[in-house]
Amino acid sequence: MTKAEIVNEVAKATGIEKTTVLRVVEEFMECVKDSLSKGNPVYLRGFGSFIIKHRAEKAARNITRTTTMTIPAHNIPSFKPAKVFVNSVK
């Protein structure tokens, strides 16, 4: 499902104009990104959590050149679904 499809579904379900729904969806995504970039997780009860995972430094191999390189430690965003969400998908 794309963002446009989400906007269409929410607009149909609520009767709110698509432009307004699009602004709300865009602002929600921006709030999640801002919160994660500051190191704060986002918890949505019954849906899941957007969290930051820390990846340690590791060695990797470039197969074509047979050389070893170091990938520095870094943070990545992650989503952990709530149990209710996981059970509804099963």
Segment 61-77, tens digit of pLDDT? 988 888 899 999 999 99
* Residue 15: pLDDT over 90: yes
Pick the CATH number of 41-90 from 3.30.70.20, 3.40.50.720, 3.30.1490.110, 4.10.520.10: 4.10.520.10
> What is the pTM assigned to this prediction?
0.78
Overall residue count recorded for the chain in this entry: 90
Report how far apart, in Å, the C-alpha atoms of 25 and of each of 32, 51, 70, 74 are: 11, 19, 38, 28
The pLDDT score that the predictor gives to residue 62 is 86
The pLDDT score that the predictor gives to residue 9 is 96
pLDDT (tens digit per residue) in 21-43 = 999 999 999 999 999 999 999 99
> Contact at 8 Å (CB) between 28 and 47?
no
Mean pLDDT of the chain: 94
Going from N- to C-terminal start, the domains of the chain cover 1-40, 41-90
